Amino acid sequence: MEQLTADVDVAVVGAGPKGTGIAEVAARAHHNVRILDGRPGVAVRGVERIRQQLARDVSSDHLNAAEARFVAGRLHPVTAVADLTGCGVVIEAVDEGGETDPDLLRAIEAAVEQGVGHEVLMATSASSASVTRTAAGLGRPELLVGLRFFDPVPQVAVVEVVRGEATEPKVVDAAVDLVRSWGKTPVLCRSSPGFVVNRISRPFFGEALRVAESRAADPATIDAVLRETGGFRKGAFELADLLGQDVDLEVSRGVWEQTFHDPRYAPTVFQQRLVDTGRLGRRTSRGIFAYTPEGEALDADPLTAPRRPAPPVVQLVDDDFGPMAPFLDRIEAGGVGIERLDLSEDQLGEELPGLKLPGGGLLRVTDGSTARSWTLEAPGGVVLLDWAHDPAGCRRVVLMAPRDVDPTVLDGAIGVCQASGAAVSVIGDSAGGIVARTVAMLVNEAVELVARGDATATDVDVAMLLGASYPSGPLEWGDRVGAVRVASVLGELHDETPTGRYRISPRLDEAVMAEENLRDL
């Protein structure tokens, strides 16, 4: 295979948003790009859209006019597969429209391969179709690799380089070098259901859907918590509305079917109902939220607790607030004194860890259990605090309490947390809250993906940081929280919903044992 330098022509098959984005990136990297689309006139219109984008970049001083003309001059719409002869790279980027058709992908790749000859880097940009299965229909399956770009292609820095079972190492190496030469960060993965980003992202959407389905919190509050407490760039519902509820559902169904109906990836009736009623998201002006013509959500205000007075002093039993320990400093800085009780081991056995509240209640950091499960151990009532990505700076925190909690206890917990300067959302008594259950599932999925050899730990974290804009890679997040706490949340979720969805990865179980052994030293 020839070296894929800038003088090698690139072919892009498909002139939708994904294809034109790839074409623009390749042209900016000084390749001549031939764009083919089976629909009459679509390739020409695609090139015109790229030129309009270049003009906007010039007007906003992101590109000089000479370079814009140079990039535009490298874009060539063509009308037949034969016009691709001589290209050194061919990337299939046919719009999937929410449903991947592997048979169609194989037909396109086979036709392109016939048209350009065998010594060419063949790539598919399909977001979930098996590279191994697609390659099986080609004369030389060893030349096919997946190049999974993310929308918007020119802005997103990462590309998944997906190796099929037949892909030759030299082809993978050439694809990695090509992606780097285009200014992108490649992450390597094996062709498995959902690859890295789509596979690990399933719990992000799935847990939000399940919390809403249980009516523990409304979608607007869940999204605000994911952003302002969890640190995610977008909430799960606004992101699914942006992608398309039908597209997100199809990805979930695809991963579920490719894993032979593993309950970890089971779609929800909640989302199916949205799709069945045509509430597909921003493109239909209505999904989870309603949207203005400019794309602004109209009904996305979260529920926020009204101000409550904070007690002047609270007592902390067992100075261990787990991943929320920095939040205690914010509470003290807000004027609430924290008296740390120095108890003997016998006394600690009689006292539950946490902040003692007015009315005899207790504020504890969630371990995945429900607040109602603590009734016997804490007759005064327990209010649970959800995790935050950045306890020292988060803008919102989440509390869970039993329905029959003493109002004095709940008001005390709200007031203590509001003293930190954070807004407070009180949700239903949901196992694992919102953030803790989401993070635990993300960590578990990432651990298992690495254990299977589908990707390295570094590539997994980089993919989720750059491809999904997560505030931390899931494996780094898991290291910070600790395997024991992650496993505790999953165990409690499994006890609450014993479907197999929340089963613990054997590799995570090993990490739990190693962590516990280290504590015993």
pLDDT of residue 100: 45
In whole angstroms, give the CA distance from residue 440 to residue 520. Answer: 24
Per-residue pLDDT of the chain (521 residues; tens, 9 = 90+): 667 888 899 999 999 999 999 999 999 999 999 999 989 999 999 999 999 999 999 999 999 999 999 999 999 999 988 888 889 999 999 865 444 456 666 677 777 777 776 678 999 998 878 999 988 888 889 999 999 999 899 999 999 999 999 999 999 999 999 999 999 999 999 999 999 999 999 999 999 999 999 999 999 999 999 999 999 999 999 999 999 999 999 999 999 999 999 999 999 999 999 999 999 999 999 999 999 999 899 988 999 999 999 999 999 988 778 999 999 999 999 999 999 887 655 555 567 889 998 888 999 999 999 999 998 888 889 999 999 999 999 999 999 999 999 999 999 999 999 999 999 999 999 999 999 999 999 999 999 999 999 999 999 999 999 999 999 999 999 999 999 999 999 999 999 999 999 999 999 999 999 998 877 66
Q: Are strands 144-148 and 121-124 parallel, antiparallel or unpaired?
A: parallel
Q: CB-side exposure of 421: number of CA atoms within 13 Å? A: 13
460's enclosing H/E stretch is helix 457-462
Amino acid at 240: A
Residues 10, 88 contacting (CB under 8 angstroms): yes
Q: Return the structure tokens found at 432.
A: 């694992």
What is the largest distance, in Å, between two alpha-carbon atoms of the chain?
82
Q: CATH 1.10.1040.50 in the chain, residues?
A: 197-284
Helices and strands in the chain: count of H runs, count of E runs:
19, 15
Please list the helix, strand and coil fractions of the chain in percent, rounded to the nearest 5, in that order: 45, 15, 40
Query: Which ranges constitute the DSSP H helices of 61-101?
Result: 65-72
Q: CATH 3.40.50.720 in the chain, residues?
A: 10-190
* Angle, CA 438 vertex, CA 435 and CA 443 arms, to 5°: 120
Per DSSP, the residues of 197-252 read: HHHHHHHHHHHHHHHHHTTSS-HHHHHHHHHHTT--SS-HHHHHHHH-HHHHHHHH
End-to-end CA distance of the chain: 55
CATH C-level class of 197-284: mainly alpha
Amino acid at 106: R
pLDDT of residue 97: 47
In whole angstroms, give the CA distance from residue 390 to residue 41. Answer: 50
Q: Three-class SS of residue 148? A: strand
In whole angstroms, give the CA distance from residue 164 to residue 178. Answer: 18
DSSP state of 42: H
Residues 211, 430 contacting (CB under 8 angstroms): yes
Q: Return the structure tokens found at 207.
A: 């847990």
Give which of 251, 148, 194, 185 is closest to 465, Cα–Cα: 185
Phi, psi dihedrals of residue 158, rounded to the nearest 5°:
-110, 150
Q: Which residues pair with 450 in a beta bridge?
A: none
pLDDT of residue 107: 73
Q: Which residues pair with 355 in a beta bridge?
A: 316, 363
Q: Return the structure tokens found at 346.
A: 């016998």
Q: Three-class SS of residue 506? A: helix
pTM of the model: 0.93
In whole angstroms, give the CA distance from residue 215 to residue 58. Answer: 48
Say if residue 59 is exposed, middle or buried (CB neighbours under 10 Å; 0-12, 13-18, 19+). exposed
120's enclosing H/E stretch is none
Residues 200, 474 contacting (CB under 8 angstroms): yes
In whole angstroms, give the CA distance from residue 116 to residue 36. Answer: 13
Three-class secondary structure assignment of 323-381? HHHHHHHHHHHCCCEEEEECCCHHHHHHCCCEEECCCCCEEEECCCCCHHHHCCCCCCC
Amino acid at 40: P
Specify the CATH architecture of the domain 313-427. Answer: 2-Layer Sandwich (3.30)
Q: Taking the domain 10-190, which CATH number applies?
A: 3.40.50.720
In whole angstroms, give the CA distance from residue 220 to residue 376. Answer: 33
